[in-house]
Structure 1
Amino acid sequence: MKKENKELFEKSKRGALQLLFSRFGIILVLLLIQVLLLFGLLNYVATNYIHLYYTVNLVFTLTGYTLLFNSSSDNSVKMTWMVVFTVLPVVGILLYLYTQLEFGHRYERRRLIDIIRNSHHLIQSQPKVKKELEANKDLKGIVSFLNQTNTYPAYRNSDVTYFPSGEEKFAALLEELKQAKSFIFMEYFIVGKGEMWSAILEILIQKAQEGVEVRFMYDGFCEFSLLPRSYSKELEKMGIKCRVFSPIQPFVSTVYNFRDHRKICVIDGQVAFTGGVNLADEYINKVERFGHWKDTAVRVKGEAVESFTLMFLQIWANNSDTSDFGQWLNVPKEKILKDDEAKGWVVPYADSPLDAERVGEMIYFDLLNKAQDSVQIMSPYLILDGEMETALTFAAKRGVKVDLILPHVPDKKYAFALAKSHYKTLIEAGVNIYEYTPGFVHAKVFLVDQYKATVGTVNLDYRSFYHHFECGVYLEDVPSIEEISEDFKKTLSLSQKVTLEDVQKEKALTKITGWVLKIFAPLM
């Protein structure tokens, strides 16, 4: 019996050893070791949680600060991210890395760069104009800057008409559309069904039936609230070639932060429109949303139109090829002015958030820093970075009369609160702030020393400076400057001046809201 028990024990021992050193046994042992290590780690974390928490937060915060201070961001943007890193170190740095790694628009950036590289040579300043530009060192500097990122020539043989309201621009636009014979290119941020759009659409359909090339592009944000998602296909069925810029898709991407805020219409390469006026009834006061809607626009005729044609084609080509650029650019230009009547300069320009230059803001900087006597501004928003606030206050402190007209009836209450957070600093520096009492100002106009101006789509806010595709036209010594000046005087007469006493009497809630939102303004 003892012998049998011994043999049974030896047999069991061999079986246990075989099981232990078998593949299954080794896996089981490794699993047990991992479980023990996991429990040990959990126990360590549980007993040392506070130390680990602060160590991880410190590492993430320092990493975030290091990346941030070595970036080329504006100081206001850096300050905002510093607050985010301090409050939410791990989440903040991950969010920052997500935005900086450009998920979703790396391809779009490369595509746009290639399009510009392959098309910038298609329009150039005339040799005679280049020679005349040499004598204007001030303007030459602006043109030189603009041509760092794209081709934006200066033009002499162009006529500019200024429209002090959306209604006047709308009437002129309808008449010009009716005269189209070859092509119509339209690119707008907002399109809303109503009287304005119906009248335009009727003409576009008719022109498409007549064989006119009609291309229409609108920002994908319209699909959220204004247009059905299938609307582009509906337009295609009507004979209108349609593109939706950056349509909203069911996945997260930083590309959605970059919107096409431009307003461009080009007809036959002979006429172009730009300015603040979108294609919805509030822009022509057919419906009232925020009191009277004050807007502006310009019509350009002549050689400068080719710049707007190229702007449109470059964005349109993001979803198509570039082979037809020459067809639409190489059109004979009507002689608008005689050589001895070619007064002033016209320089259309565009701004893209996908390159390194803040073109719209730099144009404003140049106008402010070179102003000698007066700066007159109309803008719907006042959400300033530190550089722009400094430029405005410095101009006023130099003795330049700086007048700024903003809305009295806001379209966005948070934007209004943010604007008011800048009032005290600006007024104390000598900037005159006025609010347009009849309603909402949507115009984007700078007029300097009564001979230089820019009219376009660029607001005085972070979105226009950093996140939007924008456009405008720089004007110098052109007859329409006088029209801009008269419109500013008229608008000023309908506006009330804001004093420091008014700022002090502002509601506490508005002040607090502005102060808090100002921290996060660069991210809004």
Structure 2
Amino acid sequence: MTWHQIIELIVTLNAILAIITVFREKRDIAATWAWLLVLTVFPVFGFIIYAFIGRQMPHKQLTRVQQQVAVALDKRLDQQRTENGSEANLADEITTGAATMVNMFMATDEAFLARKNRVKIFTNGDDLFHSLIEDIEAAQSSIHIEFYTFYADNIGTEIRDLLVKKAKEGVEVRVIYDPWGSMGTNTRFFKPLLDAGGYVERFLGTRPAFIDFRLNFRDHRKIVVIDGKEGYIGGYNIGDQYLGRKPKFGFWRDTHLRIVGSGVFALQRHFMMDWNATDRAHPFSEGELVDKYFPLIKVKGDTTMQIVSSGPDSDMQQIKMGYMRMIQQATKTLWIQTPYLIPDDSVLDSLRCAAMSGVDVRIMVPDKPDHPFVYRATQYYARQLADDGVKIYYYHNGFIHAKTMVVDGRMASVGSANLDFRSFKLNFEINSFLYDEKLAKKLEEIYQEDIDKSELITPQKFADQSLYLKFKQMFSRLLSPIL
């Protein structure tokens, strides 16, 4: 057999295996064609890529959730509603458009409406970690932490040592981390916490990163719950780079929230369900669920909100649906911050419709990459949207990692989900949807301050980019369903 025949045989077998591999699992048409492209254009090597990021999650990983968490939560919510007063006056708190969102989230994610929360916004890592450390120091009963990234660096070690101290004091400490997001962090790093009586688990019992060949279906959530009373949600992870200590990124601009009120119950619920799905050996005790983990909270805040999760364990794409509903409701302004702008066709069309309807649509993205293909794909979609009338801003004061959306200065979203395929379909995410004009106005003010540190990239500036850069953007866009 000649070399020519051998190559033909390899190409033919590769094509057949590519078709079998891609079509044997249910996935959307865009991802199907993207994977066929990868597997056929890169024979053999494409299958190595597929082994890391193409396989679907085994169904058994998605069914380890105990229902007693929901039962306990429902019991406490009934009492909390009595504490906060009747819900008969909801119309006075949220607009008609927001009410339809509330109903949608209740139907798709069982996301209850949490009223009268006190919410603080953080946009600086130093301020956030100072507050977080203070709350951990004051913990009396339980500390629940779930992060995509928990690095074994200076701030990671400082927080771990504080958790060790609290565990020795008798406080229940549980930590969930994602091994890929926390690359370099291992069980040896957490051994002092384990020895002190704390619990630490890799999400869904996944293997350490260096032997875990599955890059998809990551735990991208960022959840902290202290004593069931204070909660944190947003874009920050635990690591020195989030404090601006990495020269590659410079100042790290993100958005995070501290919540006091019944909204914390939703964060607690999601953490507990993730824990029960991850660690079946040490589940939460049913007898103490209500009083220990869902204490009655007496606080009078201004924010009505819903905590919404999404992930590959559901086909609903709840957070994406929330983003689309917000985009569709915008009548004056729609301001978005996202580090990764890789929308699917439905979101892309919604953004175009808003801009062409006269809505002031602004999208702020970083001016530097942290993932080359993702960044070039972001530039591609930014160029397309700029041509449709969307104002695209490149943030110049470091790296912007915030995932925020503000509509008409009356409702907003802050959380872990980017405006991209991965957050919509492949990652486990969690966002807060906020029905509070005062908070939305504050987020608008923060956005205006960020514009002062950004550059408006006009369609002409995009047109002036080199042909080589445009080629890299277009090529990266072809891979966008799997990035």
TM-score in same-fold range (> 0.5) = yes
Per-residue CA shift, 1:458-499, capped at 9, x if unaligned? Answer: 011222111111111110125322321211110011100001
Per-residue CA shift, 1:15-60, capped at 9, x if unaligned? Answer: xxxxxxxxxxxxxxxxxxxxxxxxxxx9xxx99x999x98x99988
Q: Please tell me whether the aligned partners of residues 156 and 346 of structure 1 are also in contact (alpha carbons under 8 angstroms).
A: yes
Q: Please tell me whether the aligned partners of residues 219 and 247 of structure 1 are also in contact (alpha carbons under 8 angstroms).
A: no
CA–CA distance in structure 2, aligned partners of residues 219 and 67 of structure 1: 28
What is the one-letter code of the residue matched to 1:119?
V
Relative to structure 1, is the Cα distance of residues 203 and 459 closer, same or farther in structure 2, using a 3 angstrom cutoff?
same
User: What residue is the counterpart of 1:110 in the other structure?
Assistant: 63
Identity rate, percent: 26
Partner residue of 1:470 out of 405, 429, 453: 429
What is the one-letter code of the residue matched to 1:237?
D
Partner residue of 1:361 out of 310, 320, 330: 320
Measure how far apart 1:232 and its partner are. Answer: 3.4
Ranges in structure 1 where 5+ consecutive residues have no aligned partner: 1-41
1:482 paired with 2:441, answer: yes
Where 1:421 maps in the other structure, the secondary structure is helix
What is the one-letter code of the residue matched to 1:377?
I
Measure how far apart 1:453 and its partner are. Answer: 0.4
CA–CA distance in structure 2, aligned partners of residues 132 and 310 of structure 1: 26
Where 1:515 maps in the other structure, the secondary structure is helix
Measure how far apart 1:376 and its partner are. Answer: 0.7
1:231 paired with 2:194, answer: no
Measure how far apart 1:249 and its partner are. Answer: 6.9
1:327 paired with 2:288, answer: yes
Per-residue CA shift, 1:333-378, capped at 9, x if unaligned? Answer: 33111xxxx5441111211212112122111111101111101111
1:76 paired with 2:30, answer: yes
CA–CA distance in structure 2, aligned partners of residues 235 and 205 of structure 1: 5
1:241 paired with 2:199, answer: yes
User: What residue is the counterpart of 2:73 in the other structure?
Assistant: 123
User: What residue is the counterpart of 1:200 in the other structure?
Assistant: 159
User: What residue is the counterpart of 2:455 in the other structure?
Assistant: 496
CA–CA distance in structure 2, aligned partners of residues 184 and 497 of structure 1: 42
Matches within 5 A, 1:23-422: 73=28, 75-81=29-35, 83=37, 102=56, 105-111=58-64, 114-115=65-66, 117-124=67-74, 126=78, 130-133=87-90, 137-222=96-181, 224=183, 226-245=184-203, 246-248=206-208, 254=214, 256-318=215-277, 319-320=279-280, 322-324=283-285, 327-330=288-291, 331-337=294-300, 343-422=302-381
CA–CA distance in structure 2, aligned partners of residues 96 and 171 of structure 1: 41
Rg larger for: 1
Measure how far apart 1:80 and its partner are. Answer: 2.0
Measure how far apart 1:271 and its partner are. Answer: 0.3
Q: Please tell me whether the aligned partners of residues 129 and 156 of structure 1 are also in contact (alpha carbons under 8 angstroms).
A: no
CA–CA distance in structure 2, aligned partners of residues 241 and 98 of structure 1: 28
The structure whose RCO (Cα within 8 Å, separation 6+) is larger is 2
User: What residue is the counterpart of 1:35 in the other structure?
Assistant: none
Relative to structure 1, is the Cα distance of residues 230 and 58 closer, same or farther in structure 2, using a 3 angstrom cutoff?
closer
Relative to structure 1, is the Cα distance of residues 100 and 50 closer, same or farther in structure 2, using a 3 angstrom cutoff?
closer
CA–CA distance in structure 2, aligned partners of residues 64 and 153 of structure 1: 40
Per-residue CA shift, 1:51-94, capped at 9, x if unaligned? Answer: 9x98x9998898899879xx662x53244245457768999999
- What's the TM-score, normalizing by structure 1? 0.79
Per-residue CA shift, 1:385-429, capped at 9, x if unaligned? Answer: 222211111111111101111111222222221111112320111
Q: Please tell me whether the aligned partners of residues 311 and 424 of structure 2 are also in contact (alpha carbons under 8 angstroms).
A: no
Q: Please tell me whether the aligned partners of residues 118 and 303 of structure 2 are also in contact (alpha carbons under 8 angstroms).
A: no
CA–CA distance in structure 2, aligned partners of residues 416 and 120 of structure 1: 39
Q: Please tell me whether the aligned partners of residues 302 and 334 of structure 1 are also in contact (alpha carbons under 8 angstroms).
A: yes
Per-residue CA shift, 1:77-120, capped at 9, x if unaligned? Answer: 24424545776899999999999984x62211122xx43x4533
- What's the TM-score, normalizing by structure 2? 0.85
Where 1:435 maps in the other structure, the secondary structure is strand
CA–CA distance in structure 1, aligned partners of residues 195 and 47 of structure 2: 47
What is the one-letter code of the residue matched to 1:456?
G
Relative to structure 1, is the Cα distance of residues 80 and 168 closer, same or farther in structure 2, using a 3 angstrom cutoff?
same
Measure how far apart 1:171 and its partner are. Answer: 1.6
Where 1:120 maps in the other structure, the secondary structure is helix
